[in-house]
Every structure is written in C-alpha cells, then in structure tokens.
Amino acid sequence: MRSIRRQLLLILASILIATFSVSGLLGYLATAEEVQELFDAQLIENARVLKGVMNHSDEHVDWDHMRKSLEETRDEEVADSDAMADGHAYEKKVAIQVWTRDGNLVLRSPSAPEYSLSPLQHGFYRRDSNGHSWHVYTTRMEENGHWLIVAERSDVREELSLNVAASLGAGSLAGLALALFLMHRGLKRELKPLEDLRGAIGEREPEKLTPIQLAEPRTELQPVVEALNHLLASVTAGMERERRFLADAAHELRTPLTVLKLKAQSALVAPTPEEARQHLERLITSVDRSTRVVEQLLLLARLDADAIPVEQGDVALDEVTRETLATLAPLAFARHQELMLDNDAAGDFHLLGNNALLGALLRNLVENAMRHSPEGGEIRVRLLASDREITVEVGDSGPGVDPVLLGTLTRRFVRAHQGDTQGTGLGLAIVAHIVELHGGRLLLANTTPAGLMVTVTLPRQRA
C-alpha cells in the first residue's frame, strides 16, 4: 500500500533536485563565463599598467634593471614568519614577455617561457605549452615599437570556476536539505487532517454514528467529510428504520397472534360444530387482518428505505382508479356498499408518476373508506383535473373523525376510532408517504352530515 505522504515527498524531492541541478548547472556556466570575462579584463588591465611603465624609447627604459629585478624576485628568500612566505597560489601562473618588432626577447618573467606565447599581433590568443593552456593578451607599445605579452594559465580560471561551483553546490545541497526538512514538516502538518479524519471514523460506533467534525478542516477534504456524513446519516436512518419496523411489527403482531391462538383453541373445544365453525370464521377474519398488517408493514418499510424505486412514467389516473374499484367491488358487494366514481369522461387525467404506488394509494383510501362506512353505505371517489394538477377525493358515509384527531391520522398505528379492530393504523401513513414522494398534498376533513373526505392533489409533473 503506497503512502500519500511518502509519494508526495518523493515527487517534491525529485522536482527540487531537478530544479537545483538545472539551476546549479546554469549558475556554473554563467559563473564560468563571468570568470572568463573578469580575467580577460584583468589581463587587459595588467597590460595597460605594464605598458604605462614600458612604453618609452629604449634609452629611457632600463631593461637590464627590470630583468634583474624579476630574477631577484624569483630568488628572493622570505622568512617563514612572513604571512606571504608561501606566496600566492596564482603568482607563478602569470607570465610577462616583451618582444622587439624583429622577434627578439627583451624581457620575460620567471614563469614565462623563452618562446613567444602568441603571434606579435594585437589581440587575445589561446596557447597550449608544456601541458598548460595559456590565455594571452598581446599589445604593441607605440613609443619603442615592442610587443607586450601578458599571459595567464587557464588552470587559474578553471580552479576559480570549480571553487565557485563547489561553493554553489554546497549552498545548493544545504538549501536542498533544508527544503526537504521543511517540506517533510509541512506535509506532516498539512496531512494531519487526514489522520484526524481516520481517527474520527475509527471512533464511530454502530450505535452512535454522529457527524464528523474536523478541528482543522481543509477545502479539499470538505467534500469527503460531507460524503461521509451523508453516508453516516443514511446508515443511521436505515438502522432507525430497521428498529422502528421491528418495534412496529412486534407491537402490531403480538396481540393478533395471541388472538389467533385463542380462537383456534376455542374452535378445538367448541361443544357443537356450529360454534366451532363460528370460531373458525372469526379465525379466518383475524388471519386476513394479520395478513394485511404484514403487507402494510412491509410496504411501509420499503417506502421508508426507498426500496421501491419511484420510476416516473405516464400514468392514467382514471384508469388506475377504475381498476382499483373493480378489484375492491366484491368486498363492497359483500358489505352491501356502493362504490361510485365521478369523473369527466373527456378530462385529461394523465400525470407523471409511479403506477404501482398510485394504485396502492387509491386502494388504501378506498379500503379505509369501506371499513369506516356502515353496511349499505356509499363510498364516493371523484377525480378533478386542471392544467397543472389532478385531485382525487375519496369520501365515506361513516361517522367521521373527532376533529382533534384529524391531524394525527397520518401517523403510524393511529386509528380514527378506539374500537376499530379491523384497521391497521397504517393505511393513511402509507398514503401520506406516497403523496410526499409525488410532491402532492393531502387533506383530511369531516363532511356534512357525516363522513370523512380525504383529498389528494397531485401535480402532473414533479417540480
């Protein structure tokens, strides 16, 4: 597994080494060029000084005295205590020659050879002699016609260039080491939020998935933190839904299962076949109710978990309503109830929604109205269409609902009447959830003289 810190350090170190190398090379080349220019200028300056001394007619220049002085300087003994006892490293690498126009050597320094280091012409020259390379400047002295040659060995320049390059290299290495150290410290400090994030994730427990908050947030990490917090929130919501479902299922099924057992036992001990039959019929009714409770709980759990994909498609709500009423017609017939549908045959009841969920919505509304309507009662379903939305009204002929409870009927396991043993208390909760998924509105109101009207308004297209 690769380390981000190590990779960044290697990449930055490589970039720094390459940069320092190129910079050092360019610096060395520029320095070498400047050294050449400086020493060339020094050659010219030395030649001008010597020319000022020697540029006189021969009778005014004591060549013999100059020659002896140069020889004495070469043979001069200096005390060891003198700071210049060893001389200067460069002093024997400079040569001076004076030639007549006829090619006779008039004067030379001890370090200069007896042959001419350059042609007797004005200008700069390069001469290889005795394993050494000389930089030569030649100029003519007008008063006596002699040629003055001032030369310098190239190793002086090379040594100075190498010394400058060594100094630059040492400085660059020291700077590189300091840069790497500071870079390591900087990367460690700037990557600390990653360590903090890892620690924050590790501290989370399944039962306590609180959002992550970094003490030193970074802009680049913020999307990661937000995505993790969203994931933690989703996991927490899923766990909460699971706990709620288990609690709801345990709460709602405990009593019906006990009742089923009691009714089965009653049928077993019934004294007559007729009484046993009555107990079995009640048992079947209880099984049907328990089956519906399980179906409603599963549907609600799937809606909570978004397990049912809300795939949008064209839905003809009037056709869905007719199919739902046709499915429930046998149940209404058994209760001698009348299902009525009122809609404009020429109206447009198409909208963008989920066909299965809208079918479940209508089925729950109609079943709820049938359950709360007496035998021989009426269940009225009305469809209204406008340019932007479609309204579904489902009314029953029951006793209505206590106005205090109207605002709570969409909660789970809340029933309109305490004596209701047929309802699950989940139908309107499912309806409310489906309406919310479709971006609609749900309204419950009592009607005159009696009954409950449930109004669902759905947009044709979700905003």
On whether the pTM is more than 0.85, the answer is no
pLDDT at residue 427 is higher than 80: no
148-161 per-position pLDDT tens digit: 999 888 877 777 77
Three-state DSSP at 154 gives: helix
Give the model's pLDDT for residue 73: 63
Task: Check if the beta carbon of residue 446 is closer than 8 Å to that of residue 401.
Answer: yes
Separation CA 243–CA 207 (nearest Å): 11
1-27 per-position pLDDT tens digit: 667 777 888 888 888 888 888 887 888
Task: Check if the beta carbon of residue 131 is closer than 8 Å to that of residue 18.
Answer: no
Q: What is the mean pLDDT of the chain?
A: 78
Task: Check if the beta carbon of residue 352 is closer than 8 Å to that of residue 315.
Answer: yes
Owner of token pair 């070498």: 32
Distances (CA, A) of 415 to 322, 354, 372, 450: 27, 27, 11, 18
pLDDT at residue 393 is higher than 70: yes
CA angle centred on 424, ends 379 and 393, rounded to 5°: 30
pLDDT at residue 253 is higher than 50: yes
Three-state DSSP at 106 gives: strand
Three-state DSSP at 316 gives: strand
Give the model's pLDDT for residue 245: 60
CATH topology of domain 4-57+93-176: Beta-Lactamase (3.30.450)
Structure confidence at residue 457 as a pLDDT band (50, 70, 90): very high
Burial profile 330-357: b = 16 or more Cβ within 10 angstroms, e = fewer: eebeeeebebeeebeeeeebebebbbeb
Distances (CA, A) of 123 to 43, 46, 113, 139: 11, 14, 19, 7
Average pLDDT over every residue of 383-406: 85
pLDDT at residue 31 is higher than 60: yes
CB atoms within 10 A of CB 232: 16
Task: Check if the beta carbon of residue 151 is closer than 8 Å to that of residue 111.
Answer: no
Give the model's pLDDT for residue 383: 93
CATH topology of domain 311-459: Heat Shock Protein 90 (3.30.565)
Q: Which of 68, 74, 69, 106 is nearest to 91 (CA)?
A: 74
294-339 per-position pLDDT tens digit: 666 666 666 665 555 557 789 999 999 998 888 888 888 888 899 9
**Phi, psi (rounded to 5 degrees) for 129:** -150, 130
Structure confidence at residue 279 as a pLDDT band (50, 70, 90): confident
Structure confidence at residue 255 as a pLDDT band (50, 70, 90): low
- Give residues with Cβ within 8 angstroms of 22, minimum separation 6: none
Question: By CB neighbour count within 10 A (0-12 exposed, 13-18 middle, 19+ buried), where does 81 fall?
Answer: exposed
Give the model's pLDDT for residue 189: 80
Average pLDDT over every residue of 353-374: 85
Percent of the chain with pLDDT over 90: 8
Percent of the chain with pLDDT over 70: 80
Query: What element of type H or E holds 94?
Result: strand 94-99
Spans of all domains in the chain: 4-57+93-176, 206-307, 311-459
Give the model's pLDDT for residue 371: 84
**Best-predicted range by mean pLDDT (51-60, 105-114, 195-204, 383-392):** 383-392
Separation CA 62–CA 90 (nearest Å): 27
67-95 per-position pLDDT tens digit: 777 777 665 554 545 444 444 555 557 88
